[in-house]
């Protein structure tokens, strides 16, 4: 389950997830959570995370 206002990436295409993580990593020295975390990831880490989250069942939000 994800927090309200935070979209789930479970079940999204691996390429989409990897692209987003690489974009966060390329954003530079911003101090937001995703940029800080992604800045420490190598390409192999991003690819592995993307495959993992893509393999999870998609999370439906209650209406």
Judge whether residue 22 has pLDDT over 80. yes
Half-sphere exposure (Cβ direction) of 21: Cα atoms closer than 13 Å: 23
Judge whether residue 53 has pLDDT over 80. yes
Domain span including residue 22: 14-55
Dig out the tokens for 19 from the structure.
Answer: 């692209």
Q: Is residue 2 part of a domain?
A: no
Please give the pLDDT value at position 3.
73
Q: Is residue 43 part of a domain?
A: yes
Q: Is residue 61 part of a domain?
A: no
Q: Which of the pair, 62 or 19, is modelled with greater confidence?
A: 19
Q: Is residue 63 part of a domain?
A: no
Judge whether residue 48 has pLDDT over 60. yes
Judge whether residue 61 has pLDDT over 80. no
Total tally of structural domains belonging to the chain = 1
Residue 23's H or E segment, with its range, is helix 14-26
Q: What is the pTM of this model?
A: 0.83
Please give the pLDDT value at position 63.
54
């Amino acid at each position: 389950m994800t927090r309200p206002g935070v979209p789930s990436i479970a079940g999204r295409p691996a390429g989409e997830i990897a692209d987003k993580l690489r974009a966060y990593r390329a954003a530079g020295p911003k101090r937001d959570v995703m940029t800080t975390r992604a800045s420490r990831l190598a390409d192999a880490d991003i690819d592995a995370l993307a495959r993992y989250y893509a393999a999870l069942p998609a999370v439906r939000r209650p209406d």
